[in-house]
Structure 1
Amino acid sequence: MEYRDWHILQTLFREQNITKTAEALYISQPALTKRLRQIEKDFGVQIVQRGSRGVQFTPQGEYLAKCADEMLLRLRNIKENVLNMGNEVNGTLRLGVSNYFARYKLPMILKRFKEAYPNIDYKVITGWSKDVYKSVYNQDVHVGFVRGNYNWTDKKLLLFEEAVCVVSREPIQIEDLPNLPRIDYETDPMLRALVDGWWTENFSQPPQIGMEVDKADTCSEMVASGLGYAILPRVVLSGKDDLYMIGLTSAAGDPIKRKTWMFYHEDALGLQMVKAFVQFMEQIDIEVPQ
């Protein structure tokens, strides 16, 4: 089978739909159907059945689709190892990056690294930290940047810690929070658990959620307009020094910090580009708002 055939099986198994798979692979549906028939002919089995709810994989097809992940990973590793045999540091560095880090920190990091290693290309995948963690674990990316205390047993580097703050347009008192409108936003489970844990330690009643938005950036803008208070990581508030901020503290009075980590597998250091990037990250100083 060709590389594209394994890619077709992997994508179709994920999408469970011919139309969506063809769109994802930028090919026509007839061309996709033709390749599927050829794969079935090569193996002498039926791979999928088409119905009103999309496609259903036969047991043989499901087995091949699961093998596709392994085969594509193997082929990618072979390509990377071949490139790694040269003297130049080159190749495509795959990074998994949490949404906030991708916006506020990654551009400057890659700019500086690109100046040192101009022959390296990048594939950057952004998402919630939990998804980035999974991508690093599954070796879909070489290096992952995650926020929160995840249980990672391989190589890691603590990049920085940041305060988590109650933020408002006007001065407020912590004890008044249960009676004030709060602006909430979608975030990853780690931060949600941290904030909820702090709340239950300090208050016996739930917060008054006056508004819900999809992103922390939107939330901070709503706060800046005086529509309520929010509990946000300090990095999101960069450039908004006119807002009133109170850092969260534990019951013992210690500041509550959110950590940002870089995760990677030790085996990945065998690739020159990964080793160079890790060494670069160990040496730079990432500025964090206080």
Structure 2
Amino acid sequence: MDEKDWLILQTIYKERNITKAAEQLYISQPSLTYRIQQLEEQLGVKILSRRKRGVDFTIEGEYLVQYATSMLYQMNEMKDHLANLHGKIKGTLRLGVSQTFARYKLPAILAEFIKQYPEVDINLKSGFSYEVIQMINKEEANIGIVRDVYDWKGSKILLGEEKIYLVSKSKIDIDQLPYMTRINYNTDLSLKNVIDGWWKESFDHPPRITMEVDLIDTCREMVLNGLGYAFLPEICLNGYDSLHTYELSLNEETLIRNTWLIFNERSMDLSVVRAFKEYMEKGNA
């Protein structure tokens, strides 16, 4: 088995479908099937169990996936440390970033960082904050940017905070919110809990949610067109001064959302990770 085989096993495990895995790997389905058959013959075990709409892994197959994941991690770690030996800021920076931060802040940050460190390669994955934490725990990323730290036990640095607003196209009477159209978007559970907590303290009636969309941008555009109100973080409101915003507070405290840089201390062995941490600590978020 080699690096290509490790990647094959990982991809099939993720997709649970030979056709989709072949598409991800940019190889033909027959070639992928043949390679799995070769591995099964070489190792003397059954790796996959076919089903109508995909594949399952045998116990031996599950073990091989764990082995492949470990070997790919060690390979990446070896490459990172070799790059580190040169004494330069170079190598691959594996980032896991909250999707909202990635949308509104990250492009400019990375563009400037690459200008300063042109020999750095960026490997980026975005997702909800809890997914980013999982990436760090699984060592799929060596540093992360999250909106909420949940039960993160490692090191963290506060990058900034922002207010959470009630947003509408025109002025509204907040006391009438339960009878007005509300638009929700798919977000981290922690933010949802904060908003739900505020609502329960403010009203005895449930909200009238008539629209639920997947993206924060879609939600904002619905509000911009007068289709309802929404609760949005400050990060997505820059340049939308025509919208009416109302600060939220609970028990006399303004509701805010923090952004954190998270990492495991052993990641600081890599010069590229240290450089990015120091860059973000200088207020570049």
The number of aligned residues is 285
Task: Give the match for residue 269 of structure 1.
Answer: 268
The 8 Å contact of residues 95 and 142 in structure 1, kept in 2 or not, is answered as: yes
The 8 Å contact of residues 157 and 263 in structure 1, kept in 2 or not, is answered as: yes
Task: Give the match for residue 282 of structure 1.
Answer: 281
Q: Deviation digits for residues 3-35 of structure 1, max 9, x if unmatched?
A: 111111111122211111111111111211121
1:173 Cα offset (Å): 2.5
1:149 Cα offset (Å): 3.9
Cα distance in structure 2, aligned partners of 1:152 and 1:142: 14
Task: Give the match for residue 10 of structure 2.
Answer: 10
Which runs of at least 4 in structure 1 moved beyond 6 Å after TM superposition? none
The 8 Å contact of residues 164 and 255 in structure 2, kept in 1 or not, is answered as: yes
Query: Structure 1 stretch 157-166 or stretch 212-221: which is displaced more?
Result: 212-221
Counterparts of residues 14-29 of structure 1 (less than 5 Å): 14-29=14-29
TM-score (norm 1): 0.94
- Kindly tell me: are residues 285 and 55 of structure 1, through their superposed partners in 2, closer, same or farther at Cα, counting changes over 3 Å? closer
| AA aligned opposite 1:272 | S
| AA aligned opposite 2:227 | L
Gaps of 5+ in 2: none
1:139 Cα offset (Å): 1.1
Cα distance in structure 2, aligned partners of 1:85 and 1:41: 40
1:285 Cα offset (Å): 4.4
The answer to whether the aligner puts 1:136 opposite 2:136 as a matched pair is yes
Cα distance in structure 1, aligned partners of 2:178 and 2:226: 17
Q: What is the Cα-based RMSD across aligned positions, in Å? A: 1.3
The answer to whether the aligner puts 1:106 opposite 2:112 as a matched pair is no
- Kindly tell me: are residues 285 and 64 of structure 1, through their superposed partners in 2, closer, same or farther at Cα, counting changes over 3 Å? closer
1:56 Cα offset (Å): 2.4
| AA aligned opposite 1:241 | D
Task: Give the match for residue 258 of structure 2.
Answer: 259
The answer to whether the aligner puts 1:63 opposite 2:63 as a matched pair is yes
1:158 Cα offset (Å): 0.6
Q: Deviation digits for residues 122-161 of structure 1, max 9, x if unmatched?
A: 1111111121111112110111111124222211111111
Q: Deviation digits for residues 83-131 of structure 1, max 9, x if unmatched?
A: 1111221111111111111111111111221121111011111111121
TM-score (norm 2): 0.96
Task: Give the match for residue 169 of structure 2.
Answer: 169
Cα distance in structure 2, aligned partners of 1:210 and 1:8: 44
Q: Deviation digits for residues 243-278 of structure 1, max 9, x if unmatched?
A: 11111101x211010111111111001011001111
| SS of 1:151 mapped into structure 2 | coil
